[in-house]
Structure 1
Amino acid sequence: MRHESLLAMLLPPVSYAHGPALRVELAAEGRALDDTMPSLGRAGGGITPFAAGEMLADWERVCGITPPADAPYQQRLQLVLAKLTETGGLSIPYFIRLAASMGAQIDINEPQPFRAGTNRAGDTVWTADIIWVWQVVVQGSAGSSSFRFLAGQSAAGERLLTFGDPVIEAVFNNLKPAHTFVYFAYQ
C-alpha cells in the first residue's frame, strides 16, 4: 500500500479528505515517504559502524578521524573501531596492548643519547634530541599488514592490495604525545 493511501486513512472518515488541495498535499507527502523507504535500511545499518556502509563518514566525523584520501573501506572501519575502543595511556605496555587489540604484535624501542659513563665504545651515538623519538617495530609477514580488496567490504576505486599497517600508524600518531616523533619498521 502506498503512503498516500495510508495518510488518507489517518484522517476522520467524514473529513475533507477528498478536497483537491488536501489530495495534492497527501500525494506529495506520500511520494516523499515512498521515496524515503528504500534508504531506511541504510540508515538502520549506520547505528553501528559494522554495517555503516556509506554512513561510515559520519562515524569518522563523530570520532574526529581524518583518514588518508586513498584509504580502503576496511582500513577506515578499523580506524573507527580502534577509536571507539581506546581507553587512553602513554606507557609502552598500553601501546603494545592497543596494537594487540588490532591484531598486530609490536615492539617499541626508545633510542637513548650517548652518555659518558653509561655507554661504551661501539654503541650508537645519537643526538641529544633522540629522547623525543621512538620506534615501533611491527612483527610478522607483509601479508598480516596488508589490506586485500574484498567484495562486499571494499569500495569501487580502491587499490587491490595495500601494504604496511596504516591503521596502527594513524592510531599511534593520533595518540602519541605531541612533542614526540614515532617511526615504524616492518619485519
Structure 2
Amino acid sequence: MKHQQLLARLLPPRTYEISGTGLSAELKAEGEALDRAQQKSGQVLNSVTPIGAIDTLPDWERVCGLTPADGSNRQQRLEAVLAKLQELGGLSIPYFKGLARRLGYEIEITEFEPFFLDYSHLNEDILFDQDVIWVWQVSVIGGQVRAFPFYLDMSSVDEALLSFSDSVIEEYFRDLKPAHTFVLFDYQE
C-alpha cells in the first residue's frame, strides 16, 4: 500500500473530502515523499556494512584511510576496504605474507644482516653496515607491475632510467610497516 493511501485513511471520516483538488495534491506529494524516504532507508540499512554499500563506498574508503587508484572498479575498491577492516595488525613476516596473499600477491620477505668479522664470510656475505637491520625487502612475484621508463621530456635528471612499481601493495606496506624501518620492493616475473 502506498503512503498516499495510508495518509488518506488517517483523516477523520466524513470530515474531509479526499477527492478535493487541494487535499488530493497534498496527500499525493506527502505520500511520494514518504515513499522515497522508505526506499532510501533500505539503502542506508544496506550501507551498514561495506558489502551492501553502493552510494556510501567513498565514505567507507575515507574512514579506512584509502585512496582508490585511478581506474579501479567497485569490486577492487570493495576488496581494499574489506582487507583494511580485516587487518589485525602485526609485525611478523607471516603477517605481511598473509596480508599480501589476501590482496592477491605472492611475496617473499628478506631481512638483511650486517657484516660481522666473527661469523660472516667474505666470499658469500654482502658487506652491509650496522644500519641495514632497519631495512627489509619485499620480493613481489607476479602482480600488476608497471614499468616506468625514463623519458627526456617527462623525467627528471635524478630519476632512474627504468623503475617498476605497483602502487597497491607499496602503499599498503608503507602504511603498515614499522615507522623506524625502510622497505624496498623487488619485482620478479
Q: Is the 8 A contact 2:111 2:136 kept in 1?
A: yes
Instruction: Tell me the residue number matched to 2:89.
Output: 88
DSSP-derived class of the 2:116 partner: coil
Please state how far the C-alpha of 1:88 moved relative to its aligned partner. 1.9
Q: Would the alpha carbon gap of residues 119 and 10 (structure 1) be closer, same or farther in structure 2, given more than 3 Å must change?
A: farther
**Residue identity opposite 2:67 in structure 1:** P
Please state how far the C-alpha of 1:33 moved relative to its aligned partner. 3.0
DSSP-derived class of the 1:135 partner: strand
Q: Is the 8 A contact 2:4 2:28 kept in 1?
A: yes
Please state how far the C-alpha of 1:68 moved relative to its aligned partner. 4.6
Q: Is the 8 A contact 1:79 1:167 kept in 2?
A: no
Q: Would the alpha carbon gap of residues 92 and 37 (structure 1) be closer, same or farther in structure 2, given more than 3 Å must change?
A: same
**Residue identity opposite 1:138 in structure 2:** V
Instruction: Tell me the residue number matched to 1:150.
Output: none
Q: Would the alpha carbon gap of residues 13 and 96 (structure 1) be closer, same or farther in structure 2, given more than 3 Å must change?
A: same
1:1-187 to 2 correspondences below 5 Å: 2-14=2-14, 26-36=27-37, 39=40, 42-62=43-63, 64-68=64-68, 70=70, 72-73=72-73, 74-122=75-123, 123-139=125-141, 141-142=142-143, 145=144, 165-187=166-188
Q: Is the 8 A contact 2:46 2:52 kept in 1?
A: yes
Structure with max Cα Rg: 2
Which TM-score applies when normalising by structure 1? 0.67
Please state how far the C-alpha of 1:87 moved relative to its aligned partner. 1.9
C-alpha separation between the residues in 1 aligned to 2:79 and 2:69? 15
Unaligned runs of 5+ in 1: 147-162
**Residue identity opposite 1:86 in structure 2:** E
Bigger share in strand: 2
CA RMSD, aligned part only? 3.4
Percent identity (aligned): 51
Q: Is the 8 A contact 2:138 2:186 kept in 1?
A: yes
Q: Would the alpha carbon gap of residues 11 and 84 (structure 1) be closer, same or farther in structure 2, given more than 3 Å must change?
A: farther
Deviations 1:119-158 (A, max 9, x none): 232432334322222111122x34xx37xxxxxxxxxxxx
Which TM-score applies when normalising by structure 2? 0.67
Please state how far the C-alpha of 1:38 moved relative to its aligned partner. 5.9
Unaligned runs of 5+ in 2: 146-163
Q: Is the 8 A contact 1:138 1:185 kept in 2?
A: yes
Deviations 1:73-93 (A, max 9, x none): 343222211112112211111
Bigger share in helix: 1
